[in-house]
Homo-oligomer: A and B are copies of this chain.
Amino acid sequence: MTHPGRVAPNHTHPRDVPLIVALAALADPIRLAMVRELSGMEEWQLTCGAFDVPVGKAARSHHFAVLREAGVIEQRDEGPCRVNRLRRPEFDERFPGLLDLVLRPEFDQPGTSREAS
Chain A residues with CB under 8 Å of chain B are 15-20, 23-24, 26-29, 32, 93-98, 100-102, 104, 107-111, 113, 115
Contact = CB atoms under 8 A, between A and B. Distances in A.
A115 B108 CA distance: 34
Contacts of A104: 19
Given A15-B113, A27-B20, A27-B24, A97 B101 contact: yes
Nearest to A26: B23
Contacts of A115: 15
Given A97-B98, A101-B95, A111 B16 contact: yes
A97 B100 contact: yes
Nearest to A14: B113
